[in-house]
Amino acid sequence: MFDLLRGGTEETVAVIERELRCGVWSWNLRTHEMRWSRGYYDLLGIEPGKVEPSFSAILQVTHPDDRGPQAEVERIIQKASTIRRKFRVIRRGGSVAWIYCQIIIFVDAEGTSDRAIGICTDVTAREDQLSRLRVSDERYRALVKASGAVVWIAKSDGQIHEVINCDHGGEVRADALRSGWLQLVHPEDREKIISIRETASREKRGWDVVHRVRQADGGFKWKRSTGQPVLDDAGNIKEWLGISVDLEPDTPSAAGHRITGAQIRAARGLLRWSVLDLAHAAGTTRATIRRLEELDGASPQADPMLPSIQTALSKAGVDFFFPPAGKPGVRPR
């Protein structure tokens, strides 16, 4: 670069440095003389001729948090090591700029470090963009966590390779990553999910399905999962983005709660049982079933037949739940 300057192309070099936002410096390791190009002065925010070029002058404008690593450069150069360094400088007026510098070491015939050249570029725009992306990613992950949903990213074949906000334990997470999460789905729901996903994949569209997922404790929980394809320029699916949301809150089980008449009626409806069917299964009378079902809420007094009725319905495949807000309900297991 400095040879080019001597060759009468100073104006050309100045244009290159200005347009590329770069600069160079050279350092004679024998005489310790250092020279900066005009572009490097500009990178540091120093007026040409105001200071004598030196590492000490560079450190004076280096951000305090970056001065330690930057001060090591001089020592490393003596070892003839190629260096790539990124640091911040504080320019006139207080603005902060990021500088990326690659230092090339030249050695003499005896292998001793002879001189060094630093090629430096202003990477402030890139660092600012990366910083915004980091903040955006942190906000996105915080929002996902606040929502309680599980977000996943899968390959084009449906195999999950990233899960966000999965707090169900390492074993379950590992299973999801290995098998595309189908091994976590309740066996009775797998065929439905496979069919829906295959159709969506052929038609290159999103899919939505309600299903049960195995939890870390071995139990199952109802979820709604939605997947959307990400297409490349040719219209082919390159990956899937999806979200799985709980359809039931983390609430206490039916233990300690008295089932309601509305729950008994709804449970019979799920099973397509008549009053007589439930009476036979619970070992009680039709009159008892009708009396309990007349109330939408729980019986004001603990009826001795309620445990038998609840057990019969549970064995037949009905789950009872009691959310802290809202009405008690039932769902198929």
Is position 178 within any domain? yes
Residue range(s) defining the domain that contains residue 187: 148-246
Flag the least confident range among 24-33, 154-163, 237-246. 154-163
* Total-model pTM: 0.54
Average of pLDDT values for 98-121? 87
Domain C-terminal end among 189, 222, 246: 246
4 close to 24: Cβ distance less than 8 angstroms: no
Residue 317 confidence (pLDDT): 87
Is the same domain home to 11 and 112? yes
**pLDDT tens profile 239-287:** 999 888 887 654 444 445 788 888 999 999 989 999 999 999 999 899 9
Domain C-terminal end among 187, 213, 246: 246
DSSP classification of residue 247: S
In angstroms, the Cα distances linking 289 to 65, 256, 259, 274 are 75, 21, 12, 10
pLDDT band at 320 (very low <50, low <70, confident <90, very high): confident
pLDDT band at 170 (very low <50, low <70, confident <90, very high): very low
Is the same domain home to 29 and 59? yes
Is the same domain home to 175 and 214? yes
Whether residue 290 has pLDDT greater than 50: yes
Domain C-terminal end among 246, 272, 302: 246
Residue 325 confidence (pLDDT): 61
Q: Which residue has the higher pLDDT, 282 or 299?
A: 282
**pLDDT tens profile 216-239:** 777 788 888 899 999 999 999 999
Is the same domain home to 58 and 158? no
Is the same domain home to 61 and 153? no
Which secondary-structure segment (H or E) carries 113? strand 113-122
Is position 253 within any domain? no
225 close to 208: Cβ distance less than 8 angstroms: yes
Is the same domain home to 303 and 274? yes
Average pLDDT of the chain to the nearest whole number? 82
Please provide residue 2's backbone torsions phi and psi, each rounded to the nearest 5 degrees: -70, -30
